[in-house]
Structure 1
């Protein structure tokens, strides 16, 4: 059975991906920030297993995962979780920078490091759900964009390092998507939120699954998904 470990499974793109993978009977391992969240995820996705680890504290991930049962092999590691806090460079505090860098960059790097043996065993696939901000930084988006630019660099380096081990690496760059994060962004921007203007999370999920299901003779390295006209 194909096995996946997924972050950000509780809402938005992550929930859409988990739903699609569950429908086809794949083995699901869902990362949760605490035991309460893990219980919620198991109730929402019957049959899924959970692993507890807080992406806000990457230095403790190794200890946390070392005290839990993990899959023996992984066909994919899907980094979908993320946080955002807008603000001008002249106003952002070190805490705002560190929070976004920890969850959006350092934790994905650490989680990947910890699970590479299982991914190498199955010639697996690492997918980083990045952002349009990972390709271009706009005003007020400096810290978030920096974390996502760094995530692109992480993916690019990992792809070259793990090629001979048969591990594929894909970066997905969604534009604005109708998720709870987008609601928060609109609140921070002081704008009215209209989800019909933005990408349906299911559309991004479909892109992710297309990359996962590509035959072994090819690899999607980078793909951008933008709101339709």
Structure 2
């Protein structure tokens, strides 16, 4: 009679040792899932790793009773897989919150960098906000709107706009307006002030140059109104 040597390692009693590879595989997947769970966006890979880690860990735990191995690795696989799922939600919530905060800070900075308002007849903004809530409206004043005679004897519009930068940074201004003669619009006008430092003033005495002199002839009542005001720091 021939004798065949059993393959692989043996345990007491001469039986080959049994392994629990699924427990080990589940443990490895669980650990990898935990590592990736801390990386926002990339941690989407956690889901397949964690699901496989849970499956392998559960099977490995059930098998550990029969083979006497892998119980600790299986439990650790289950725990790390569950932890990775929890960390996925936590880290993504933190990431989204951080992004929202950054967006809000950026928007706040943009709000400080640019102001715009359509101006109503009473000098307030047409958006419903009062002058105090529209900083750009506090930075200019239409100081003169008169018909004068030029040195050549023709009529011209003397339209002056005074600027004062009441902000906390350098601003440039751009105003759009209209000129009315006896209640009828006869022209538009533009006015600009460039790169004023905080507290700096400027008088634009050329805002009326676009108004044709022939439209001023015979006007009994002249009105100049700013209809839109803008300021920016770029």
State the TM bucket, normalised to the shorter chain. Answer: under 0.3
TM-score (norm 2): 0.20
TM-score (norm 1): 0.21
| Higher RCO, 1 vs 2 (CA within 8 Å, ≥6 residues apart) | 1
Higher helix share: 1
